[in-house]
Amino acid sequence: VEDPLDTVDWPVRTERLVIRRATFADAGATWTYRQLEEVCRWIPSHPRDVAAHASAFTDPVSLAMSLVVELATEERPVIGDLMVRVTDAWAQREVAEQARQRQAELGWSLHPAYGGRGYATEAVRAAIDLCFGPLELHRVIAECFADNEPSWRLMERVGMRREAHTRQDSLHRSLGWLDGYTYALLAEEHHSKECLGEDHRS
Ligand SMILES: CC(C)(COP(=O)(O)OP(=O)(O)OC[C@H]1O[C@@H](n2cnc3c(N)ncnc32)[C@H](O)[C@@H]1OP(=O)(O)O)[C@@H](O)C(=O)NCCC(=O)NCCS
């Protein structure tokens, strides 16, 4: 199966960031913040040590959908990572071919030392531009625990719409059954915002 992220001209540069595909060598840099309680509180796994993190991070399926975000300074520190998981949209069988790899789920983690400056927003906007640009996707989604306010506020900053509030659908490792939110953005919504020159960048 073709890797949709291969169609992108890497690295992707934004005003303040450089975004590239993750490699084996990024396991160490991502561990520096992935090991922090405030980062892993809301994300799917909490590896006990760097070896466990490296093994999960470098799993070929996971690595293929992972991007790292560097600050575009001379030192180029890794300040976060993104997931772009391209999937098939749901379709009736007769049209299933047209729905293949037309949707993506996005995910993100930011080193808290770099929080509060809009870096995650800038990185996620770039990921959305990739999804609706070279990847030619139809729809982009993101999911989070309803209690993860920094994450859903980020979804709203980048113009995503809340589509679902699910009741106690997700089991948290220490907080028990929690509500979830699903946010989404369509290509046509993204393009019409661009066309109108609407200020969705604030
Ligand atoms: C979710 C997460 C990435 C959000 O981080 P963040 O620092 O709030 O996001 P940004 O980098 O976009 O910064 C936005 C903040 O910077 C401020 N800001 C400053 N300059 C800015 C700019 N140029 N552009 C946008 N925002 C800017 C914003 O006002 C906002 O602050 P506020 O929350 O006080 O209003 C981070 O909390 C995180 O990594 N959490 C742990 C992992 C996680 O939960 N992942 C998602 C699982 S679903």
Q: Strand 139-145 vs strand 103-110: parallel, antiparallel, or unpaired? A: parallel
pLDDT number for residue 194: 81
Determine the Cα–Cα distance for residues 96 and 88; give it in Å rounded to an integer. 8
Tokens of 100: 């293949």
Q: Which two tokens stand for residue 67?
A: 């991007």
Question: In testing the pocket of ligand 1, which one of 110, 119, 149 has its CB within 8 Å of the most ligand atoms?
Answer: 110
Which residue is associated with the tokens 């393009």?
A: 191
What is the pLDDT at residue 201? 56
156, amino acid identity: E
Q: Which atom of ligand 1 is nearest to the CA of 33?
A: 39
Site to probe by mutation for ligand 1, drawn from 39, 121, 175 as the one with most ligand atoms within 8 Å of Cβ, is 121
Across the beta sheet with 66-71, what order do the strands follow? Answer: 12-13, 17-21, 66-71, 78-87, 103-110, 139-145, 176-186, 161-172
What does the pLDDT profile of the chain (202 residues) look like in tens digits?
A: 689 999 999 999 999 999 999 999 999 999 999 999 999 999 999 999 999 999 999 999 999 999 999 999 999 999 999 999 999 999 999 999 999 999 999 999 999 999 999 999 999 999 999 999 999 999 999 999 999 999 999 999 999 999 999 999 999 999 999 999 999 999 999 999 887 776 555 5
**Pairing mode of beta strands 66-71, 17-21:** antiparallel
8 Å CB contact between 128 and 140: yes
Strand (E) or helix (H) holding 184: strand 176-186
Cα end-to-end distance, the chain, whole Å: 38
* Residues within 6 Å of ligand 1 by CB: 39, 42-43, 108-110, 115-121, 144, 148, 150-151, 153-154
pTM of the model: 0.96
User: How would you classify residue 174: left for phi > 0, otherwise alpha for psi between -120 and 50, otherwise beta?
Assistant: alpha
Q: 69: CA distance to ligand 1 center in Å?
A: 14
Could you give phi then psi for residue 42, rounded to 5 degrees?
A: -110, 0
